């Protein structure tokens, strides 16, 4: 169990480990689908359904803008940057956000997590081995439950806050299934437990992690383009500047962050705007002069960027990057699994 207040910040790399595309792959998938949508040649039925959805969403179809967005996506590093460039074109932004929601929902459906929720007995067993046993989620679940008996399972999230910059709900499905297995909980009890988790998506997501609203996870979403359209309206991209910072990061959430003794970044990219949202330096806190400890994965990050990320951490939190006991930044080869496995005792104050 976690002995002190801890905030876990999730970026795209954390979902990649669970079978979801990174930003560049999401951009590539969307560009390819839009090329097919704009084509005058016969296409599979799911492309025709996207065309009909665009006609309903925009009041008309505009193949020129469909191919314009497809071409532009190939020139930008992410779909967020691309839509930021077209922020004055409402039709392109609507198409782009709908395609994000559609692509993430499709990735959820095709993921092994979908098999955990809706698969056959054998599919569910194998998916649990691959996802719950074989990724960083397994280490997190062990950290949550160790020292907390079944009779007190309602306490597992008492000192945890999750700030999730991803649109998908993968982590919540994994936690739900893992905790249900660990404590032999009924469906109702584990759903109540999940509702006690303090979590927030600054840029929105596809639906509630209770799976009772918006787009359901699993294999039942495919016919429901209407649900995808509704979810797309709730998504923000980080290049949008029209949203008040208090809406993206409510004061109550920042209060939990500023009072967290430990901050854990998993698969996070440390983009300037995202770090500005997380910045709590200068806010009053209840740490009593104790500096915050920061743990971060930097998988594949070259040395020059590591220095920049260290500076952004120092600027954002009550910590001192020159003290190696306060900031642990993984090597370029270390991922989420390594961080949690190697530093579980430090993260849970069990050392």
Instruction: Answer yes or no: do 149 and 78 share one domain.
Output: no
**pLDDT band at residue 166 under the 50/70/90 scheme:** very high
By the 10 Å C-beta count (0-12 exposed, 13-18 middle, 19+ buried), 212 is classed as: exposed
The residues that bridge with 9 in the sheet, in sequence order, are: 163, 265
Give domain status of residue 211, yes or no.
no
Q: What is the mean pLDDT of the chain?
A: 87
Structure confidence at residue 346 (pLDDT): 87
Q: Residue 229's pLDDT band (boundaries 50, 70, 90)?
A: confident
CA dist list (Å): 125 to 115, 139, 227: 9, 19, 29
* Domains held by the chain: number: 2
Together in a domain, 174 and 296: yes
Whether 215 maps to a domain, the answer reads no
- pLDDT class of 318 with cuts at 50, 70, 90: confident
The CATH number given to whatever domain includes residue 150 is 3.40.50
- Return the percentage of the chain with pLDDT > 70, whole number: 91
Q: How many CA atoms lie within 13 A of 109 on its CB side?
A: 15
Is residue 349 predicted with pLDDT exceeding 90? Answer: no
Annotate 57-72 with DSSP letters as a single string.
HHSS--HHHHHHHHHH
Distance linking the first and last C-alpha atoms of the chain = 13
How far is it, in rounded angstroms, from Cα 293 to Cα 5? 11
Which pLDDT belongs to residue 6? 96
Average pLDDT over residues 278-289: 86
Could you tell me the residue range of the domain that residue 108 belongs to?
A: 23-112
Q: Do residues 128 and 272 share a domain?
A: yes
pLDDT tops 80 at residue 213: no
- Alpha-helix runs per DSSP H in the chain: 12-16, 23-38, 45-58, 63-73, 79-85, 90-110, 112-118, 121-127, 136-145, 170-183, 187-195, 225-232, 245-248, 251-258, 272-278, 303-316, 336-347
Q: Classify 266 as helix, strand or coil.
A: strand
pLDDT of 329 higher than 70:
yes
Kindly report, residue by residue over 76-120, the tens digit of the pLDDT: 988 999 999 999 999 999 999 999 999 998 898 888 888 887 778
pTM for this one? 0.91
93 and 138 share a domain? no
| Residues 135, 83 share a domain | no
- The answer, yes or no, to whether residue 321 has pLDDT greater than 80, is no
54 shares a domain with 15 = no
Do the domain assignments include residue 336?
yes
Tell which of 112, 139, 156 closes a domain: 112
Give the number of other CB atoms < 10 A from CB of residue 180.
17
């Amino acid at each position: 169990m976690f002995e002190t207040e801890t905030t876990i910040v999730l970026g795209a790399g954390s979902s990649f480990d669970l079978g979801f595309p990174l930003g560049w792959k999401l951009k590539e998938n969307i560009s390819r689908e839009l090329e097919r949508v704009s084509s005058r040649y016969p296409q599979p039925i799911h492309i025709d359904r996207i065309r009909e959805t665009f006609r309903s969403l925009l009041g008309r179809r505009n193949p020129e803008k469909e191919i314009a967005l497809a071409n532009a996506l190939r020139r930008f590093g992410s779909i967020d940057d691309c839509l930021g460039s077209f922020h004055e074109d409402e039709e392109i932004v609507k198409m782009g956000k709908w395609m994000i929601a559609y692509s993430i929902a499709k990735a959820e459906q095709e993921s092994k997590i979908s098999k955990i929720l809706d698969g056959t007995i054998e599919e569910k067993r194998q998916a649990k081995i691959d996802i719950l046993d074989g990724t960083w989620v397994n280490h997190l679940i062990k950290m949550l439950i160790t020292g907390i008996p079944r009779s007190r399972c309602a306490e597992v999230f008492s000192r945890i806050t999750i700030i999730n910059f991803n649109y998908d709900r993968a982590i919540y499905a994994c936690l739900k299934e893992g905790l249900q297995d660990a404590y032999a909980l009924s469906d109702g009890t584990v759903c109540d437990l999940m509702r006690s988790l303090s979590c927030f998506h600054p840029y929105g997501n596809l639906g509630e992690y209770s799976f009772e609203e918006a787009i359901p996870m699993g294999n039942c979403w495919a016919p429901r383009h209407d649900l995808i359209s509704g979810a797309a309206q709730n998504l923000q991209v980080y290049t949008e500047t029209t949203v008040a910072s208090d809406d993206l990061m409510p004061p109550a959430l920042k209060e939990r962050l500023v009072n967290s003794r430990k901050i854990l970044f998993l698969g996070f990219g440390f983009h300037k705007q995202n770090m500005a949202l997380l910045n709590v330096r200068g806010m009053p806190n209840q740490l009593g002069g104790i500096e915050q400890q920061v743990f971060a994965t930097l998988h594949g990050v070259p040395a020059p960027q590591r220095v920049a990320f260290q500076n952004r951490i120092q600027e954002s939190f009550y910590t001192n990057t020159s003290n190696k006991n306060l900031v642990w930044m993984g090597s370029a080869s270390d991922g989420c699994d390594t961080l949690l496995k190697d530093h579980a005792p430090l993260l849970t104050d069990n050392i």
